[in-house]
Every structure is written in structure tokens, then in C-alpha cells.
Amino acid sequence: MTQSGMWIIGYGSLIFKPPPLVSFKVSGTLQGYIRRFWQSSSDHRGTPELPGRVVTLISLDDLKKHDKFEGSVHSYELRELDGKTVLHESAQDVGNLTDHDVKVWGVAYYIEPQNVHEVKQYLDIREQDGYTLHTVKFHVHSIPVNDENAKEIIDALPRAEDGHLYIESSVYIGTIDNPSFSGPESIEKTAKIIKNSRGPSGDNYLYLHNLTASVRDLQPDPAFSDSYLEALTHMASLK
């Protein structure tokens, strides 16, 4: 919340299916997190009998505390790209990673003060089944142009040490200790579940496809795509 309204941060379906009454949006990153389809969904993209999978965030703190996540991090965030590691050599041990080493692309929507209550009610209904609110910093990378209202609000944002503007606001996360958390889960198993799941909000694969395409559009350098999303989408699309 700010004096002028509220920021809504999206890293999953909110990217391609925004909340109502949005004034404007910015794109950027959440640092110190990885994104995984490790949240079971029985209310949106699956059913109680056949739960689907939706996306959540795992914090760097949790990655360091729990060895069970290490294999997934090495398969994607620490993968090799064209024969060269994406991260510097000293960071190849998960314990040496910093918040700057692992980041998730997403968006932040600005809600005008008069619409805050209605949007919060909408999100509290939409973001259920294990999701809880957590305060995070969202590092802004691109902003609207030729929007004086947006410029005034964005100019008031603080700057991080790297010079980027940042937004401090709440985001819904399915933490690793919530009952619907399904990780760590092999990408083969997740893909099979997504391929065969459907719920009140629609086809599970369509959720994955739309998210991957949207994140692809957000990233300025296609060489550094979200390799986990790309691999999962490819696997779930196979016959």
C-alpha cells in the first residue's frame, strides 16, 4: 500500500490475467526467488479428485536450508548455456547464491485508492488454496511512457543499491510448508499432471502456456529465458 494506492505484484496467472481496475503496470523482477509449478490446485486448475498444478515461489533462504531443492536449482537456474555457466563459478554451490543470482520476472499493477478495497476482495477470493500474503521488493525494469499519472507515482519510488527503482508490497505465495505444496517434484511428473488437469478456471496446460509466453515477452534478453518454464511447457505439450 502507498499513500496514493496499492501495488499488486504478479509472477503467475496475474501476469496474463490482470486484476480489475488497474491504473497502469510496470515490469521487473523479484530477486532471491525461483518459480515452480509446485502448488497443488483443486479450486482453479484441477479438482479435489484430480488436483492440477499452479505456480509459486521458493525463496533463496528455503533453497539453502533444504537440500531437497538443490537438484532442481542445478537443472535450471545453474544450467549451462552455450557451454558457459549462466552464473559465476563461485555461485555454483547453492549455499553461495545471492539474491541477485536468482530472480523471477513479473509485473506490478498500480491500483488507485478508490479501488483498493474492491481489488483486495477480488484477490482474496482468487488467491486461495494455500496462498498467503508476504511482503517483498519488486525491482522495476520498465515503466509506461507518456503517462503523467504513472510518472508522478513512479518518480516517488525508492531506489535500490543497483540503481533500480523498487516497489515494496505484498504478494501471494504458496510457501513450502503449506498443505498444497507439492515440491520438489520431477518435471516429468508435473508435466503429466498439467497435461491431464482441468478445473473451474480452465485447462491447466493453457495456464502454463500463457504464463510461459507472457514471461518470454517480459525478458529483455531471450538468451536468458526462464529455462524451467520453457522445459515444462515443452514437456507438457508432447503427445
CATH number of domain containing 42: 3.10.490.10
Question: What is the per-residue DSSP string for 15-63?
Answer: HHSPPSS--EEEEEEEETEEEEEEEEESSSSS-SSS-EEEEEEEEHHHH
CA atoms within 13 A on the CB side of 147: 14
DSSP-derived secondary structure letter, 78: T
Across 214-221, average pLDDT: 90
pLDDT number for residue 209: 98
Domain for residue 1, yes or no?
no
SS3 1: coil
Question: pLDDT by residue (tens digit) across 13-40?
Answer: 999 999 999 999 999 999 999 999 999 9
Domain for residue 157, yes or no?
yes
H/E element, 204: helix 204-218
Nearest by Cα to 144 from 11, 27, 29, 65: 27
Residue 80 has pLDDT above 70, yes or no: no
Domain for residue 159, yes or no?
yes
Question: pLDDT by residue (tens digit) across 112-163?
Answer: 999 999 999 998 887 766 789 999 999 999 989 888 889 999 999 999 888 8
Whole-model pTM: value is 0.91
Residue 107 has pLDDT above 80, yes or no: yes
Domain for residue 56, yes or no?
yes
Model confidence band, residue 234 (pLDDT cutoffs 50, 70, 90): very high
The catalytic residues are 127
Domain for residue 16, yes or no?
yes
Residue type, 59: S
Beta-bridge partner residues of 202: 199
3-state helix, strand and coil shares in percent for the chain, rounded to the nearest 5: 35, 30, 35
The alpha-carbon radius of gyration of the chain (Å, integer) is 18
Q: How many domains does the chain have?
A: 1
Domain for residue 87, yes or no?
yes
Range of the domain at 192: 6-237
